[in-house]
Structure 1
Amino acid sequence: MPTFAWLSTYVRGAFMKNVPCEASDQLDPDEYLVTRNDAQGIITYVNGRWYPATGYAPSDLIGAATKMLYHADMPSQVGSDVWATLARGRTWSGLQKLRRKDGSAFWALAIVTPDLRNGTVAGYISVRTRADPAQVAVAETAFAQWKSGKRIRYRMRNGEIVRRRRILRSALDMMPALNSARADAIDTIRLMSGGDLSRRISNDRERSNRKPLIESLDVMRKGFVRAVRDMRASTLATRSAASEIASATVNLSHRATQQSASLEQAAVAIEQLDRSVQSIIDGTTQAHGKTQSAAALAAQGVSAAQQAGRTMSATAERATRIAGISSMIESIAFQTSILALNASVEAARAGIEGRGFAVVAAEVRALSQRSSTAARDIRGLVDDTVAQIEAGAGQVLTNEKTIEQLAEAIIGLEKVVASIAGATHQQGIAISEVSRNISDLSGAVAHTAAMVGQAATAAEALLDQSNALDVSMAAFRLSETDR
C-alpha cells in the first residue's frame, strides 16, 4: 500500500482544487485518450487524440500533473476507490468527470492500470473512452450525493457505482453472468485473433455485473482499431512519402548525372583554356625576351649614333683646319707670285745678265699661281665637305633622337610585355586551380550521384515494404464506423 500512498493525496488534491465547469459533454463513440504517468504523477506520454478531443496539445500535458485534467465535481470517493483497487494490483475501471482546456466538462470511462516494470510500480496507464449515458446519469446522482455528504445511497467498488442494498444480490447473480461473459470474451478474442475487429462488444445494464471484463475487452478492441487505423494512415503516408522520395531521388540522380557531365565538359574546356594560357605564357615570355634584346640593341644604336655624331664633329673640325691651311697656302702662293713678278722686273733691268733669273722668276710665278688655284680648289672641296659633314651631323643628331625615342618606346613595351607576362602567369595559376577544383567537384558530384542512386534504391525498397505492410494490414477487418 505505501507504493500508492502518493496517489491518494494526489487524487484528493486534484478533486479539491479545480474550478467547476458549466457544460457537460461526451467523447466520440470510437474516441479513446491515453496517458502514461510516472511514479510522481507527472504525465510522460499522451496520444495524439487529446488535442482534437480536449484542446490540450501534447506540450500542454507532458510534464504536467494529472490533476489538471480532473473536474472539481469529482468526489473523493472516486480517488479512494482508485487507490484501493490499484493497491491490490488490479485494474480500476469507472467513470470520471474531466475538463477540457476551455473549461468545459466531459464524461469518460477510464481504465487505470498499474505500470509494472521489473515487478515495481513505475506509475500507471490510463485509457479513457466514451461513457455510457445511462451510467453517466447514475454517476451524476452518486457524485452529487458524495459531494454533499447527505443521504448517501451509493458506494463505489472497483469503479462500479452500486446501491448499497443491491450489493448482496449482485454477488448472488454473479456466477451466471460470469459464465456468459466468459463465452462472449472467448468469441471476441477468437475473432480478434483472426484479425476481425469489427464486432462491437455490448455493455448493457443487464450485463453490468461483468462490466470490468467487457469494458476491458472493448477498450482492447478499440485500442487495436485505433492502432490499425493509425498504422494504415502511417502506411499510406509512408508509401506516399516513399513514392515522392523515389521520384525525387530519380530526378535528382538524373540531374546529378547531367551536372556531372556538364562538369566534365567544363573540365575539358578548362584544360584546353589552361593549355592556351600556357601557350600565351610561353609567347609572352619569348616576347619579353625579344623586347629586352630590342631594348639592348636600341641602347647600342643610341650609343653608336652618339659616337657617329662625335666622329663627324671631329671630322668637321679637321676639315675646317684643312680649309684654314688651304687659305694660308693660297696667301703664300699670292705673295710668291708678287715676289716672282718683282724678280722679273729686276731681271729685266739687269739686262742680259738677268735673263736666266727672269726665266726662274717666271717659273716661280707660274708655280705660285697653280698653287693658289689648287689651294682655292682644296678650300672649295673642304667647304663642301664641311657643309656635308654639318648636314650629316644634323641628320645623325636627328637619328640619335629618333633612336632614343625608339629605345624609350621599346623599354616601355618591354615593361608592358613583362606586366602581361606576369598577369598571364597568375592567370595560368588561377586557371590551373580552377581546373583542379572542377575536377574535384566533378568527382564529388559523381559520388553524390552514386549516393543518390543508392537512396533511390532504398526509397524503392521502402515503397515495396510499405506496400507489403499495406497488404499485411488488409488482413484486419474493421467495421464501417471504425474506418
Structure 2
Amino acid sequence: MHKNVSASGREAPFPAGQTLVSVTDPQGRIVYCNPAFVQLSGHPRESLLGATHGLLRHPDMPRQAFEDLWRTLQSGQPWSGILKNRRANGDHVWIRLNATPMRQGERITGYLAVATEPSRESVAQSEPLYRRMLEEQQQGRTVHALAEGEILRVDLWGRLGRALRPGLRGQLALLQGLALLPALGCAQAFGLMSLWTGLALLAGLGLGTLAQQRLLLGPLVRVTDDANRLASGDLSYKVAVGAQEPILHLQLALRRLSANVRAVVMDTRAGIDQVQTAAHEIASGNLDLSARTESQAGSLEETAASVAQIQATVQQTADQAVQGATQADRTAELAERSDAAVHAVVDSVNQIAQASRRIADIIQVVEGVAFQTNILALNAAVEAARAGEAGRGFAVVAAEVRSLAQRTTTAAREIRSLINSSNECVDAGTGRTNEARGRMEEVLGAVQGLKTLLGEIRHAAQEQQGGIRQINDAVGHLDGITQQNAAMVEQIAAAAQSLQGQVDEVSGSMRLFRLHPGDRTVAEG
C-alpha cells in the first residue's frame, strides 16, 4: 500500500544527461524501470514494481492528461507530452514523456515510456495551461483538452483556429484548388464553362485530390507506423519497401537504421551474456574464497590459541627450571656441607683410631709392668718363705702386690678387649664414613649434573620462547593478512554484487528490444 505524500511545492531538478525508462504491462502496472527512474522517483524499486504510474501523479495535473495518454496508447498510437510528476518526498519534477505501445505481431504486450528533460520554454507554456485545465475541471466546463499529448482549445475559437491551419490533406486540396482557379477564371471569362462543366471539374478535382492523397499520404502513414513500431523496440519488424521517391529513401533509411540498431543490440546482448556469466563465476568464486578465508581465519585463531597455550607451558617449564636450579643450588650447598661434615667425622674417627692405638700401646706397657710386678711378687713370696716368721709380714705384702698385679693384668686384658672392639667399630665406622663420603661425592656430582641439566632446560625454554614469539608474530601477521583478505573479499563481493546488478540492469534494458519474432520482451515477463 502506497502512502500519498502532499505536494511540497519544491521543484526537483531533472538529472542532467539522464533518461528515465519504464515499461508497463497492458494493465498499466510497472514491470521494469531503470536506476535513473528509481532514483528520481524517490521510491524503492520494490514499491514501484507492480504499481501504476498513478503513484507518481501530481495533484496539479488534470485527469484529462492521463486519460488522453492511455486512450492514445490503447489505440496503438504513440504519445508525447509534458508531465508534472510527484516524487516520494512531495517535490515535483517536469518531464517530457514519450510513450509507445509494444507489440507482438498486432497484439499490444505493454507500453514503453521514455522520459527526458524538457526545455524551460515548454514547461513555461504547459504549466499555466494545465492550471487552467484543472480550474475548468473543477468548474465543470471544458475549454482546453489534450489530443495525443497536444493541448488544444475545443471551443469555437479553437476550432476556427485549427480550421485556418489545415493539415497536410487540406493543404494538398487547397493547392490543387488554387492551381485550377486560373483555368476556371479563363473559362468563365470566355463563356466556355457551363454549370455542368463546373460541377464536373469540381468532381474531378475531388477525385484527383483523393488519389493524390492516397499516393502521397498513404506511404507516409505507413512509414510513420513503421517508425513507431521500431521506436517501440520491435527490431524484428521488417520495414516494407515499395513506395515512390522520396518516401522510398525514407523507408530504406528506416530499414538500415533497424538493421544497424539490431546488430548493435545483438552484439551488446552477446557481450552482456558473457559479462553476466563472468559475473556469476566471480560471485561464485568469491563465495568460495570467502568460505576459505573464514576457514583460514578460524584455523589461525585455533593456532594462535594453541601457540598461546604452548607459550604458557614453556614459560611454566622455564619458571620450574629456574626454581629447580635454585633448589639444586641449595641441595648442592647442603651436600657440600654434608660432605664437609663427613670429612670431619672421618678425621675424628681417624683421630679416635690413632688414640685407640696409643691406648693399646699404653695397655701393653701396663701389662708388661703387671707381669714384672707379678714376677717380683712371686720372688718376694719365695724370699719371705725362706725368712720364716720374720718374713711373714713381707709375704702378706707380696701377696697383695701379686693380687694387684693379677687384677691389673685382668683389667688390662679387658681394656685391650674393649680397645679391640672399639678399633673394630672404628674401622667399620671408617669404612662406612668413607662409603658415605663417596656417596656424598656422587650426590654432589648428580646435583651438579642436575643443575647443568636444569640450566640447559632453562636455556632451551628461553630459545623455545623466542621461537614461539616468532611463531606468534608470524601467526599475528598471517591473521592481519587474513583480515585484510577478508576485507578485500567483502569489497570484491560488494563489487561483484554491484557488477551483477549493473549487468542485470543492462540485460533488462536489452530486453526492451525484440530481435526475433518469437522473443519475449520485458513487458511480457
TM-score by length of 2: 0.49
Q: Secondary structure at the match of 2:298?
A: helix
Task: Please point out which of 258, 268, 278 is paired with 2:315.
Answer: 278
Query: C-alpha separation between the residues in 1 aligned to 2:313 and 2:518?
Result: 77
1:415 aligned onto 2:452: yes
1:444 Cα deviation after fit: 3.2
Task: Please point out which of 446, 457, 466 is paired with 2:494.
Answer: 457
1:381 Cα deviation after fit: 0.8
1:272 Cα deviation after fit: 2.7
The 1:341/1:479 distance shift into structure 2, 3 A limit, reads closer
Question: Which residue does 1:247 correspond to in 2?
Answer: 284
1:395 Cα deviation after fit: 1.6
Question: Which residue does 1:348 correspond to in 2?
Answer: 385
1:246 Cα deviation after fit: 1.8
Query: C-alpha separation between the residues in 2 aligned to 1:183 and 1:295?
Result: 121
1:470 Cα deviation after fit: 1.2
Question: Which residue does 1:473 correspond to in 2?
Answer: 510
The 1:248/1:374 distance shift into structure 2, 3 A limit, reads same
Q: Secondary structure at the match of 1:336?
A: helix
1:319 Cα deviation after fit: 0.5
1:286 Cα deviation after fit: 1.2
Query: C-alpha separation between the residues in 2 aligned to 1:304 and 1:258?
Result: 67
Query: C-alpha separation between the residues in 2 aligned to 1:276 and 1:398?
Result: 42
Question: Which residue does 2:348 correspond to in 1?
Answer: 311
| Amino acid in structure 1 at the alignment position of 2:503 | S
Query: C-alpha separation between the residues in 2 aligned to 1:304 and 1:222?
Result: 119
- 1:118-137 equivalences in 2 (<5 Å): none
| Amino acid in structure 2 at the alignment position of 1:291 | A
Q: Secondary structure at the match of 1:475?
A: coil
Query: C-alpha separation between the residues in 2 aligned to 1:362 and 1:450?
Result: 126
Task: Please point out which of 416, 426, 429 is paired with 1:379.
Answer: 416
- 1:208-247 equivalences in 2 (<5 Å): 223-247=260-284
Task: Please point out which of 260, 279, 300 is paired with 2:337.
Answer: 300
1:345 Cα deviation after fit: 2.5
The 1:350/1:476 distance shift into structure 2, 3 A limit, reads same
| Amino acid in structure 2 at the alignment position of 1:425 | Q
The CA deviation string for residues 367-401 of structure 1, in whole angstroms up to 9 with x for no partner, is 22211111111111111111111111112222222
CA RMSD of aligned residues (A): 3.9
Q: Secondary structure at the match of 1:409?
A: helix
Q: Is the 8 A contact 1:278 1:428 kept in 2?
A: yes
Query: C-alpha separation between the residues in 2 aligned to 1:245 and 1:214?
Result: 45
Question: Which residue does 2:28 correspond to in 1?
Answer: none
Unaligned runs of 5+ in 2: 1-219, 520-525
1:477 Cα deviation after fit: 4.0
Q: Is the 8 A contact 1:256 1:448 kept in 2?
A: yes
1:369 aligned onto 2:394: no
| Amino acid in structure 2 at the alignment position of 1:258 | S
1:356 Cα deviation after fit: 3.2
| Amino acid in structure 2 at the alignment position of 1:243 | H
Q: Is the 8 A contact 1:243 1:460 kept in 2?
A: no
| Amino acid in structure 2 at the alignment position of 1:348 | A
Question: Which residue does 1:151 correspond to in 2?
Answer: none
Query: C-alpha separation between the residues in 2 aligned to 1:264 and 1:225?
Result: 57
1:326 Cα deviation after fit: 0.2
Task: Please point out which of 471, 483, 494 is paired with 1:434.
Answer: 471
1:394 aligned onto 2:431: yes
| Amino acid in structure 2 at the alignment position of 1:380 | S
Query: C-alpha separation between the residues in 2 aligned to 1:470 and 1:212?
Result: 33
The CA deviation string for residues 298-351 of structure 1, in whole angstroms up to 9 with x for no partner, is 333333333322321221122011111101100011101111222233333334
1:265 aligned onto 2:299: no
1:186 Cα deviation after fit: 9.8
Q: Secondary structure at the match of 2:515?
A: coil
- 1:67-78 equivalences in 2 (<5 Å): none
Query: C-alpha separation between the residues in 2 aligned to 1:387 and 1:224?
Result: 130
Query: C-alpha separation between the residues in 1 aligned to 2:412 and 2:368?
Result: 9
1:329 aligned onto 2:380: no
The 1:243/1:373 distance shift into structure 2, 3 A limit, reads same
Query: C-alpha separation between the residues in 2 aligned to 1:433 and 1:185?
Result: 81
Q: Secondary structure at the match of 1:317?
A: helix
Q: Is the 8 A contact 1:334 1:372 kept in 2?
A: yes
Q: Secondary structure at the match of 2:271?
A: helix
- 1:125-164 equivalences in 2 (<5 Å): none
Q: Is the 8 A contact 1:267 1:435 kept in 2?
A: yes
1:478 Cα deviation after fit: 3.4
Question: Which residue does 2:376 correspond to in 1?
Answer: 339
- 1:159-178 equivalences in 2 (<5 Å): none
Query: C-alpha separation between the residues in 2 aligned to 1:344 and 1:426?
Result: 97
The 1:331/1:215 distance shift into structure 2, 3 A limit, reads farther
The 1:212/1:423 distance shift into structure 2, 3 A limit, reads farther
Q: Secondary structure at the match of 1:478?
A: coil
Query: C-alpha separation between the residues in 2 aligned to 1:306 and 1:218?
Result: 126
1:446 Cα deviation after fit: 3.0
Question: Which residue does 2:481 correspond to in 1?
Answer: 444
Q: Is the 8 A contact 1:344 1:358 kept in 2?
A: yes
The CA deviation string for residues 139-189 of structure 1, in whole angstroms up to 9 with x for no partner, is xxxxxxxxxxxxxxxxxxxxxxxxxxxxxxxxxxxxxxxxxxx99999998
Q: Is the 8 A contact 1:327 1:376 kept in 2?
A: no
The 1:229/1:393 distance shift into structure 2, 3 A limit, reads same
1:403 aligned onto 2:440: yes
- Aligned-residue identity in percent: 36
The 1:406/1:307 distance shift into structure 2, 3 A limit, reads same
Query: C-alpha separation between the residues in 2 aligned to 1:303 and 1:273?
Result: 44
Unaligned runs of 5+ in 1: 1-181
1:412 Cα deviation after fit: 1.9
